[in-house]
């Protein structure tokens, strides 16, 4: 099952600081909801064990992430591949940043390809849960950058 999400938001943080944070594995893992554990391998690669609970599919997913295509201070891509809870997933997300006064406009998009038990849940439920998770991640990012 494939689906696409996108959006934009403004964070009260300068573009350079926002870019640096969004391309730092330690910062990124600190923003993942339901994180069970993580391993940071280098400045572009990290793993995360994330608890999932969507409908009847419950358990953990082991994700491997890679930051790619970094173009400071405005663009980067995050690739995630994982498996767990009887499912496999591949996620590609990109963000573009632009200054907005003393703030930063973040424009993002993500494409997900899911298979296994999680793909059988149904598109509207799965997309709704994914949107909820993404909104929590962005809330966490915004809270940390604006603190």
pLDDT, tens only, 103-133: 999 999 999 998 888 777 766 677 778 888 8
CATH number at residue 28: 3.30.530.20
Order of strands, sheet of 45-54, starting from the edge strand that comes earlier in the sequence? 2-11, 103-116, 87-100, 75-84, 57-71, 45-54, 35-40
Under 8 Å between Cβ of 138 and 8: no
Query: How many domains would you assign to the chain?
Result: 1
As to burial, measured by CB atoms within 10 angstroms (0-12 exposed, 13-18 middle, 19+ buried), residue 42 is exposed
pLDDT one-digit tens code per residue, 55-87? 667 889 999 999 999 999 999 999 999 999 888
Q: pLDDT value at position 123?
A: 66
Q: Which domain holds residue 136?
A: 2-146
**pLDDT band, residue 23 (cuts 50/70/90):** very high
Q: pLDDT value at position 140?
A: 95
Under 8 Å between Cβ of 27 and 144: yes
pTM confidence score: 0.91
Cα dihedral sign for 49, 134, 58, 117? negative
């Amino acid at each position: 099952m494939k689906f696409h999400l996108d959006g934009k938001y403004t964070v009260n943080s300068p573009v350079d600081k926002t870019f640096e944070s969004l391309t730092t594995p330690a910062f990124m893992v600190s923003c993942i909801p339901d994180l069970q554990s993580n391993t940071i391998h280098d400045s572009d690669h990290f793993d995360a064990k994330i608890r999932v609970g969507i409908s009847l599919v419950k358990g953990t997913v082991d994700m491997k992430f890679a930051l790619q295509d970094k173009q400071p201070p405005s663009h980067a891509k995050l690739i995630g591949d994982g498996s767990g809870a009887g499912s496999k997933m591949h996620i590609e997300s990109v963000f573009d940043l632009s200054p907005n006064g003393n703030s930063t406009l973040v424009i993002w998009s993500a494409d997900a390809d899911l298979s296994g038990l999680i793909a059988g849940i149904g598109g509207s439920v799965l997309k709704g849960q994914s949107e909820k998770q993404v909104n929590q991640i962005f809330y966490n990012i915004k809270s940390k950058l604006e603190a």
